[in-house]
Structures are given as structure tokens and as C-alpha cells.
Amino acid sequence: MAEAVVSAAVSAPSVAVPAPLPVRAVLPWAFFVGLLALIALYFVGAEQGATSVFAGTDVHEWVHDGRHLLGFPCH
Amino acid sequence: MHASTVRSLLVRGMLAGLVAGLFAFAVAYVVGEPPVSGAIAVEEAKAAGEAPAGHGSHADHGGGTVAVEAAGEEEEGVSRSAQSTFGLATGVLVYGVALGGIASLAFSFALGRVGRFSPRATAALTAAAAFTTVYLVPFLKYPATPPAVGNPDTIGKRTTLFFLMILLSVLLGIAALIAGRRLAPRLGNWNATLAAGAGFVVVTAVAFAVLPDNEDAVATGFPAGLLWEFRLASLAIQAVLWAVFGIVFGVLAQKTLAPRAAADQEGRLGAPAAG
Ligand SMILES: [Zn+2]
């Protein structure tokens, strides 16, 4: 084990392995931006298909080709 | 200081996602639109051959609108030329920016926790993992379908199963990563990675067998060559999106984190120059 650590340190001294970012610094961003991103993905991938937030089919039709080509079930 | 690092990584992740989305849009427009148009032509031909009463169930999407308009009825909607250009760009770019943001947050969690990888290598691994779990694995069970292939009546079930498959695949990927890290001290990095990868494949295969089959069976008479061309295009779009994201975000993350890594190292030596 000690040998492995030494050889790793010797063989890759120039690679800067960064210290982990504290989880508490990542979590708030993950929560808020993650939520916004998921809402955006919902509108691209599913709105006015199985479920609708807005009435009509304009959102569905506008992103229609992207929805099919990105792999989402469309219609 | 850490929070601002996470924020700048997030901004760069969304930026890299935007660049990746532009490349993906180019691929989608060049190789994706021809099979979509081909499928809509098949759909129109089918609709034209049916009784006009059948149009009601097709009116909720672009191809149906075209067919309805071709049949002489007026319906408000988005034109095919708008769908295949600005509409397509909107979908792909929003997808790229949103997933770029999420991937950069996954990167912030993974950085320094998944092994001795530089920021650039961590970014490449994050992109590869995202491509595999968010797209490739769900695609293998519930492959992308062009217009005219699906049955509109099953859209609810198909949507639920598809998103469930993404969630399951991402969770299995995270579980495999954690298991691999736990096994590493005992098996060594190489064997631990192989064991975790094998575990992921086996559990995914079991999930494929247990989950309901795709009800979206290809409509009788739909050209097999066209379906293959469409699915290959879908795969190419996602492969390009994630490859470009991994490369661009890797460069940006490396630059963002380089001063910090230098400060970490020199801080220990008592040299404040890079601070
Ligand atoms: Zn559709």
C-alpha cells in the first residue's frame, strides 16, 4: 500500500489532484440550479405530451423535432 | 471561496453545454432532420390513406398538423420549417445548457473524490458517465422513435417508463461509483473499476428484463432503414453533445481550478505568490 502511494506520487508528480470541494458548498447550487435545469428539461422533453402545464400544443410543437431526436417519447 | 468556485464551475458548465448544444444542433440539422422529414412523409401518406375522421388523434403534433393542413383544414400551429430550425435549436440548446449545469454540479461532487484525476480528466469522466446513464442506457431499453412510429394513446406510460429508466440508470451509476471506491483499497483501482462496471451491467440487464417492454412497437410497414437512420442520428447527436461538453468543460474547469490547486500546494510550502 505504501509502495503504491509512493509510486503514484513519483510517477505523476505534475498532475495536480485537486482537493474535494466541500459538499455543503455544492448542495445549495445543486438544489436550486438542479431544480431549474430539471424544469427546463421537462419543457423540452415532456410538456404537452403526457402532462401539460400550459394549455394547447405550442410548446410541444415548437420543440417537437428536438424532443424526437434527443430520445424523448413524443407522440 | 469554495462557494464561488462551485458557482464559476456551474457558469462554465452551462457555457460548455451551450457550445456542445450548438455542435449537437448542427449534427441534428444535417443528419437528424432528413429521417424526421422522411418519417413525417410516411405519416402523411398513412393519414391521407385513412378516413378524414382519423385526423383528430394526429392533431397534437407537427406531422399531424401538416397532414391536417394538407387535407385542407385550417389549424393553428408551428410550421415544419420553424420546427426543423429554430424549434430544433431551442430544444437542443436548452437541453445542452440544462444538462451542462447539472453535469458541472456532478463534477463538483466528483472532483477529488473519484481517484487521482485532474480536473480535465474528471470532466471527461463526468461527460462519459452522463452520456451513458442519461442517454445510452435508457436508449437501449426505450429507443428514440421518429414521428409516425408511436401510438398517441400510450404517451403517458411511455413517458413515465422513459424518465423512470433515466432515474434508475443514474442511481445505478452512482451506486456503482460508490461501490467501486469502497472496493478499491481491497482489489486495487483496476479490479475495483472492473467489478463496479460489471455490477452496473448485470443490474442494468436485470432491470431491462423486469421493466415492461416498449409498447411503442414500430408501426407495421414503417421502413426499417428509415428507423435505423433516425436512431443512429439520435445517437450521433448525443455522442457529439457529450464529447464536446467533456472537452470544453475540461479546459474551462482546468483553468478555473489551476490557481486553486497551485495555492493549495504552495500554501503548504508557505509561498504566498499564487494566492
Ligand atoms: Zn412527435
Nearest CA in chain A to B40: A65
Residue owning grid cell 471561496: B1
C-alpha cell at A53: 402545464
Which of A59, A65, A72 has the highest number of chain B CBs within 10 A, making it the mutation to test binding with B? Answer: A65
Round the average pLDDT of chain B to a whole number and report it.
86
Residue owning grid cell 460508490: B178
Q: Is B160 on the interface with A (CB under 8 A)?
A: yes
Q: Give residue-wise pLDDT tens across range B39-98.
A: 999 888 887 876 554 444 444 444 444 443 333 333 447 888 899 899 999 999 999 999
Q: CB–CB of B246/B127 below 8 Å?
A: yes
Residue B267: pLDDT band (50, 70, 90) is low
Considering only the beta carbons, identify the residue of A30, A51, A69 that sits closest to B237: A69
Average pLDDT in the B116-145 region?
96
**For residue B190, what are the contacts with CB-CB under 8 A and spacing of at least 6?**
none
Statement: residue B142 has pLDDT above 90: yes
> What is the count of residue pairs from A and B with beta carbons less than 8 Å apart?
204
Give A74 Cα–ligand 1 centroid separation in angstroms: 4
Q: CB–CB of B13/A37 below 8 Å?
A: no
Of B273, B195, B56, residue with least CA distance to A57: B56
What are the two backbone dihedrals, phi and then psi, of residue A49, each rounded to the nearest 5 degrees? -110, -95
Q: Which amino acid is at B244?
A: V
Distance (Å) from the alpha carbon of B202 to chain A's nearest alpha carbon: 23
Q: Give residue-wise pLDDT tens across range A6-55.
A: 444 444 445 567 889 999 999 999 999 999 999 999 999 998 888 888 88
Q: CB–CB of B95/A44 below 8 Å?
A: yes
Residue A67 CA to residue B32 CA, distance in Å, equals 12
Q: Where are the domains of chain B?
A: 2-25+81-149+218-274
Residue B211 CA to residue B207 CA, distance in Å, equals 6
Q: Is B79 on the interface with A (CB under 8 A)?
A: no
Average pLDDT in the B198-208 region?
97
Let me know if B234 is exposed, middle or buried by CB neighbors in 10 A (0-12, 13-18, 19+).
buried
Q: CB–CB of B28/A66 below 8 Å?
A: yes
Residues 173-212 of B with CB under 8 A from A: 185
Residue B108: pLDDT band (50, 70, 90) is very high
Q: Where are the domains of chain A?
A: 20-75
Q: Is B91 on the interface with A (CB under 8 A)?
A: yes
Q: Is A26 on the interface with B (CB under 8 A)?
A: yes
Q: Please give the pLDDT value at position B218.
A: 78
Q: CB–CB of A75/B150 below 8 Å?
A: yes
Q: CB–CB of A66/B25 below 8 Å?
A: no
Residue owning grid cell 445505478: B172
Which of A21, A39, A47 has the highest number of chain B CBs within 10 A, making it the mutation to test binding with B? Answer: A21
Whether residue B101 and residue A60 make contact (CB cut-off 8 A), yes or no, is no
| Alpha-carbon separation of residue A21 from A5, B56, B106 (angstroms) | 22, 54, 11
Name the pTM for this structure.
Answer: 0.84
Give B145 Cα–ligand 1 centroid separation in angstroms: 9
